[in-house]
Each structure stands twice: as structure tokens, then as C-alpha cells.
Structure 1
């Protein structure tokens, strides 16, 4: 199965370099995406531009793919599912939850000169980054790409109720499946309570398992693709 890999903020397709060979060894075709404004294009890129890139990958996939979104890109993956519900076999959400219609995509950190740079490790101290050694942190920072304002402040628009028919796998890194279920049951995650097929899987990692646990993440995604 084709597995489309969408990294979160500040990441381009190279974030999946250690996941790709592991997925290939398990018999799947990984397609890491480099998004407009995050390794492809300029600081003028918009959320619509990024959605269009994901939709183009779905449309050119062999069969119905597994769409994987990480962190903020869980919303990007969900937007793509909303636009192509009949063409996606399953969606896997890693370390994040899709935003609701009308919310900003990722207006989380200060903007500087029209972009949102990586804010440093202070906001991510604790479970998010505890499994990253100094070498991994330096590598992340050196590769981090500032996110264009038009992406970060783009408004989420969801229109097709068929998105709730697409099976969802929630991969839980810095939080547990039990915590995720509590948040969803409490109404803190607006979209997922309506998903008709929602499964959870734990992974013993921080917020970036593609860096710290790439082989285990590949195993989880391959299993999801096999089930799909």
C-alpha cells in the first residue's frame, strides 16, 4: 500500500528518512511529502497550497493510500480526508488531533517577518522531547524550516461528513491511549468523537517518534496499512 507521510511544523520530507526503508522492508511504498513553504516553495505558501500537495499525492497514489499526519499535520491529513473520503483507506494521526472547522491551522507560536520559526526547546521540555539526545536536538534545529504565516494562520474548512467514515488510527507518543480517550470523551477533541472507526496504539517515544523510534513507528504504520 502507498503510505503518504506528512510531517508537522518545521519539517520537510527528510524527517521520515529513517522510517522509509523500514516501511519498504515491510512491503509498503512510503511517500514522504515535502510541503509548500516547508522545503518546497517560499514563505508566501498557504494552507490551501499544502492541502493541494497532499491531494495531488492521494490522486496519484496506487490504490487507496494510508494518509499519515504528524502533530499539527494531523489537521492537514484530516483536511485531505475531508476532500477525498472515497480515495483514502485509512488515516493515521501521530501525536496530534485534527482541528475543527473554522479554527486556525497552527497559530501556536510567535511570528517573525511573516513566518513561524522553531521556538526552541523550552515549550517542549518534558515528555515531548525527553527521548531526544543532544545530537538529535541539534539535527532537528539545523533542519527546522520556518512555517509561513499563510499556513500557520490558515483557517480550517471541513465540508464532507463522509470523513467520519474513514478509519482512524491514533498513534499516542508523549501521551497514552487512556489520556487520549479521556480528552476525546470530555469533548476536548472536536472531530474524533464522530469517527465511526477509531483505534489507538501506544508508542514509547516523545513527540517525534520518526526521529527516536523510526523502526517501531514503521511497524505500527505497516500494520495499519495491512489492516486497511
Structure 2
């Protein structure tokens, strides 16, 4: 048995994994979907990026989890990647689901074409939060109208500091055992930083023919990939 800790991307909470969780539990594993501070049912809790890293570390330590598979989607790859090196020998594997990856001293928005200027401006105009995205943001990602409505309905404004504060890494991310799941619909190639990590001996690439929110568009397929990463 392994313990999956599931962390969804910006604006989302643990609810985003609702269709994945039962499939992992049915295979006999521990499953721990996690809402980060300031989001969903934790709205109002102040959060910077290191708060989110600590959220993940605290979940692992509070429940005394071992053989941990940390799963980070989209933005959550940033805190998950940092938490993965901090839980030491409790870690079995880290899985990045179409996500950003942390680099020491770099922010979530630093890799954006404009260096994150539009996101920073949006955060400044919205009281320190990245506002919820409209339904049109999710078009072309293999989602039904009902699934898009569910994302929009469940989303909450995202604490801006978590996107603009730099990551803190103590050793190379490429040293960690990792799987990168690339969702190829609309954007088939991994980013340059991910491609460099995949060239190392500890990382593997798996592709999914769907959009950026596979836990909703293809939950059964995503769950099976997560099970396969640990030979389940």
C-alpha cells in the first residue's frame, strides 16, 4: 500500500479529486486529497508559497504517512516539488500532472511569456488574489459543459503571494523519483524546464490525450496512471 497525497492547481480544492479518490482507494491505497490554505473550505487563511509547501509537509507528518506519492496538478507542482524533498525517506514518488515545476529562486509566474506582469497586475487589482477564471478559460480541454460549470462553481480566488514568491530548493529536482504527466490536448510538448528534467535518469514521461484538468475530463484514466506509477 502507498499513500497518495493529491493537490489540485490554482483556485481549486480537494473536491477536484472526487472522481479519482474512489478508484485509488478501491485498489487498497491510502488517499489524502488536500486543500491548500486560502482556498475552497480554507478561504480566509493567509497564505504565501511556503505556507502551501508546509501544508503538504504537515499533512504527511500529521498522519504519519510513509510510502508517499505526492501528486501536484498545475500550480500545485510548485509546492509539491518543494515538499517532496522535505519529507525525506517518506517519499516513494512525486507525480506532476501537467504542472509547473519549482526552480530555486524562481516564481510560478516567472516562466510566463510576459514574466508574470499580467498576473501581478490582476492580483493587485483584486485585493491580493488571482481571480476565478471564466468558463471560456476551460474551452478546448476535453471538458463537458457540466464539468466546466463544476470547476467554475468550485473555484475560489487564489492567494496572490503563492504565485509571486520564489521557490526554495535544497537539492536538484531531477534527483527525485518523478513522473510527469503531459496532457497533450492543445499543448502537446513539455516546457523546456520539464524536458530537461525528463532527460535525467529519475524522471519518466506519460502522455494523456486530454486537456489541463484530467481529474475531471478523464478521472478513470488518470487514476490508472497513478496506480501504474507504483506498480499497483
Q: TM-score range by the shorter chain?
A: 0.7 to 0.9
CA contact (8 A) 1:176 1:202 kept: no
Partner of 1:216: 221
Task: Quote how far apart the aligned CAs of 1:56 are.
Answer: 1.2
Task: Quote how far apart the aligned CAs of 1:79 are.
Answer: 0.8
Equivalent-residue separation in structure 2 for 1:41 and 1:134 (angstroms): 26
Cα distance change of structure 1 residues 79 and 23 upon mapping to structure 2, 3 Å threshold:
same
Partner of 1:118: 132
Q: Deviation string for 1:173-207 (max 9, x for gaps)?
A: 13599722xx44xxx44872575311111222111
* Larger CA deviation: 134-143 vs 190-199: 190-199
In structure 2, runs of 5+ residues without a counterpart are: 110-115
Task: Quote how far apart the aligned CAs of 1:122 are.
Answer: 4.3
Partner of 2:74: 71
Equivalent-residue separation in structure 2 for 1:34 and 1:209 (angstroms): 18
Q: Name the TM-score, length of structure 1 as normaliser.
A: 0.85
Partner of 2:27: 26
Cα distance change of structure 1 residues 156 and 136 upon mapping to structure 2, 3 Å threshold:
same
1:3-152 correspondence to structure 2 within 5 Å:
3-39=4-40, 40-42=42-44, 44-59=46-61, 60-106=63-109, 109=119, 110-111=122-123, 112-126=126-140, 129=141, 131-152=142-163
Partner of 1:206: 211
Greater relative CO (CA pairs within 8 A, separation 6+): 1
Equivalent-residue separation in structure 2 for 1:175 and 1:198 (angstroms): 22
